[in-house]
Every structure is written in C-alpha cells, then in structure tokens.
Structure 1
Amino acid sequence: MPGDRFAIARELLDQGATVLIIGRKQEGLDSAAASLGPRCVARLCHTADEKRATEVIEDLITSHGRVDYLVNNAAANPQWGPTIGVDAGMAAKLAEVDLWAPLLWTKLTHQVWMGANGGSVVNIASVGGLSPSPNTGYYNSVKVGLAFLTKQLSAELAPRVRVNAVAPGFIDTDMARHMPPEQRAALLRQIPMGRLGLPADIAAATSFLLSDHAGWITGHLLAVDGGMLNARAFDPAVGPV
C-alpha cells in the first residue's frame, strides 16, 4: 500500500508478533494503534529520550515478559540543500535521532532481554548513504554512520544478537507523489525495476532479516532500491536526480 507509514508494524503483526510503536504525539499514536489492532502497544516517547525509553522498555518487559526484535525506524531529516549550509541545530538533531537513538534502543533491549536470551535488530538506513546525492548530504552522512554502527554492533553482540540494516531506495510516499512529473519520470528511468518502492517492500525485507530465516546473517546492509545503485555503477553517465 503506497504511503503506509506502519507497513513494518503491519507485517510483523501479520507474522504473529506483538508490536510496540512509539511516537511524540498522542493523537497520532492512538490513531495508529486503533488501525493496527489489539496486539499493537503504543507509547508516547521521543526516541532519543533515554529516561523515557528506559521506562517504556521496562514496562514492556513487565507486561509482556520479553523483547525479541527491535526495528530502529525513527528518522529526522530537517536538511535540504548544500551540505556546507548545515548548521549546528540540524547536525545535532540528525545525529540524535538517526544515530544515537538506534544505539540507545539497542543498548536498552540488550540490557533487559537480548543480551541473555538472544534477539534480532534491524536498523533502517538509506541508499543515500551509499552514493552521493544532492540536497541531503549530511543526512546521508549520518546514515553512513548508522551502517557502520550496524556492523560494529553485529560484531560486539554476536552470537546471541544479530544486527542488520535495510537501506531503502526511493519509496512511494506522500512526498514522492507530490514530485513534479518530469522529475518523477527522470527518477524512474534510473530504477531498473521500473517503479518506486512500496513500504511493503521495506517491511518484507525487515521481517526477513529479523526472522530465523536469516539466522546466519549479521552485519549486513540490504539495499532495497529496485536495482538503482547497481544501474548507476553499470552506467557512470547516470547521476543522481
């Protein structure tokens, strides 16, 4: 379903999991929980707030007894324009939400359950961190950091905990649907699969990496981009949109 912000949660619910989602706005959380059903637990929390995150994880253990999977999917992208124009506020926000928060939640879940019992973590990175592109250079740089953090944690937390990452390409979101037709057409010409990705594509890849089907995979960054990066490497004349 295009634009489904909760595709990963839906996929995991379909697989039989109980899913905890967090957010900063109660109204949005209540609406999401209602649409996702009774096995969705919603808690108000800024993803980078260590005190509140600790409370949420401890409450989850008290109420459900375990935490087997973690998806670090929160992101902030206040940057649009030349990288040289990024200010301290933008840089701090991006690093806090896109890099520190995944480490924080991995640390907390490791402390309360996964370290002793095992588990699987998937970080949502970006193909932007694999190839330069205009206007989001610092965001991409932070996603490079997340990719490295994935590899670092996979080595440190093995063998009990697997840590992988999914790097989405251009996904059919509300923002993509407002793209000017000529820009969208140019973008589609760069994607061998001939379409933008769907949230369901990212959800399926995430579910796989979390699952026992990927039980011998850790430290891996899976690009889900319709072949775009590969096509750029094949034809150097094709550059970023």
Structure 2
Amino acid sequence: MSDAAGRPRLHEGAVAVVTGASRGIGLGIAERLVADGARVVVTARKAEALAEAVDRLGGPEHALGVAGNAADEAHQDEVLAAARETFGGLHLLVNNTGINPAYGPMLDSDLDVARKVLDVNVVAAFSWIRKAVAAGLGDAGHPGAVVNVASVAGLGASGVIGWYGVSKAALIHLTTELGYELGPDVRVNAVAPAVVKTRFAEALYEGREEKVASRYPMRRLGVPEDVAGAVSFLLGRDASWVTGQTLTVDGGVTLAGGV
C-alpha cells in the first residue's frame, strides 16, 4: 500500500515490538505504526487486555500480543522470537513500559520501591535493546531503530514523582550512550512527553485538567496520538540521520522551566 503521494507507507514491511502497549501511550504508538504499514508485537502483563488491543490493531494479520513481565528476560526472549517467527523479522523497538508507584517527597520513598522503579524503567529497557541487537535488529530494507519513552520528569524537578524522574533521566542518558555506541547499524532515540491524558497519569491532572493545562503554551494536555506521531518519525526514514537524541513532546510546558 502507498500513501496519498504514491510512496510506500513509512514503515511498510517493518516489524516492531512495542512494550507496555495494551492501553495509553503504548497502544497509541502501536496504532500509529500499524497505520504506517508495520506489523507489531505488543506486550503487557494482562493477556485479556492484550487480546483487546490486538483486535483494535486489526487482528492477527497486523498484531500479536504476548503477555508477561517486561523486566523478565525470559519474556523478552519470547517476544523477540515471536516477532521473527510470526512476522518474519525484527526491525523496530519501542520501550514504553514504565512504572511510578511512589508519589511524594523522595526522602519518604521506600528503597525497595526505588530499586523496582529503576529496574523496570531503565535496566529492563537496556535489556530489551541488548537482546534485540543480539537478535539482529533491522536489515537492509529497514535499518534497526529504537525509541525509548522517557518523560519531561527526567529533565527537571517535580517535587512529587522524584524516583520516576530519576529513572527517566537515566533512560535519556542510556539513549545518548547507545546512540553513540550502536551507530551506524542501529539508531536509538527517545521522546520525553509531558502530561498525557492516560490512566497512568490521571493523578497528575484528574479533577483539575483545565488548571494543569493552563501552564502549557498549547493550553491543553497531550493525548497518546501526540506522542505516537513523534515516535513514528524517529523510527522512520526521515530521521535516518538522527540518533542519541531526545525529542521533547510537551505542549511547550518546559519552555518556562516547568515539568
């Protein structure tokens, strides 16, 4: 299939893995990649939610769901093998899985919770990339590309989601480092969204959306489609000379130092 200009769709023939994609930003990214021609393997913990996501993505012709814990290396191996076995390749990886179980001052944080946040949001993302590269991410037709979903919380202090911000700052630097180390064969970039209207972020705006959005020059909060378009760009041919970068997708909220 081609776009309106007669060109092949941006990711026509590519196979993508998107973690944490049963809902929210991850599902929005998967939907955009399918619309742009890719076939996707989506992951999440709950099989039922993944089955619903696969139906929304167009069924087994376009998507496969594999349930499991994103930080579990055996699950990562299973997913990457399923991408090749089901769709015949592995070209694109989106690390979207993230947790934020702590809210409030950092000094009140439980150390086990802090370790868990770093394990899921940073170490697991690194493991996914390492395993994908070892499995031969990309080919001549579709060079390997990775996008990590970070956050503006990794760019400045929030006062209430500190460990989440620490993990996202680490993910941003991981992106920079691997962008350097994996070139020219694999590009690694990140997006840093501000508040996006999802269940994951509800605590940051629920009941006061208008007030929160008033801090944004664009005068609205984000939606998953805002992030999905940026991710699709970074994975595609128009970003073929872009690596190790973090694209802030924030409605302008960081322009005046906000997070």
Normalised by the length of structure 2, the TM-score is 0.84
Match of 1:29 among 42, 45, 50: 50
Taking structure 1 as reference, are residues 189 and 140 closer, same or farther at Cα in structure 2, changes over 3 Å only?
Answer: same
- Aligned identity (percent) is 39
Tell me, yes or no, if the aligned pair for 2:154 and 2:168 is still in contact at 8 Å: yes
Q: Determine whether 1:9 maps to 2:17.
A: no
AA of the residue aligned to 1:186: K
Which structure has more relative contact order (CA 8 Å, sep 6+)? It is: 1
Taking structure 1 as reference, are residues 88 and 194 closer, same or farther at Cα in structure 2, changes over 3 Å only?
Answer: same
- d(CA) in 1 for partners of 2:192, 2:96: 11
1:145-160 paired onto structure 2 within 5 Å: 145-160=170-185
Structure having the higher helix fraction is 1
Q: Determine whether 1:211 maps to 2:236.
A: yes
- d(CA) in 2 for partners of 1:130, 1:178: 19
User: 1:122: which partner in 2?
Assistant: 147
User: 1:48: which partner in 2?
Assistant: 71
1:174-202 Cα distance to aligned partner (Å, 9 max, x none):
41696233xx3332221101111111000
Per-residue deviation, 1:31? 1.3
Tell me, yes or no, if the aligned pair for 1:190 and 1:231 is still in contact at 8 Å: no
- d(CA) in 1 for partners of 2:138, 2:39: 20
Q: Determine whether 1:90 maps to 2:113.
A: yes
Q: Determine whether 1:105 maps to 2:128.
A: yes
Which 5+ residue runs of structure 1 have no aligned equivalent?
A: 233-238
Q: How many residues are matched?
A: 231
Q: Determine whether 1:180 maps to 2:207.
A: yes
AA of the residue aligned to 1:152: E
1:157-168 paired onto structure 2 within 5 Å: 157-168=182-193
Normalised by the length of structure 1, the TM-score is 0.90
RMSD: 1.9
Per-residue deviation, 1:95? 1.0
AA of the residue aligned to 1:8: I
Per-residue deviation, 1:88? 2.1
Per-residue deviation, 1:45? 1.8
SS of 2:135's equivalent?
helix
Which 5+ residue runs of structure 2 have no aligned equivalent?
A: 1-22
Per mean C-alpha deviation after superposition, the further-off stretch among 188-197 and 10-19 is 188-197
- d(CA) in 1 for partners of 2:176, 2:229: 21
AA of the residue aligned to 2:115: A
- d(CA) in 1 for partners of 2:31, 2:138: 26
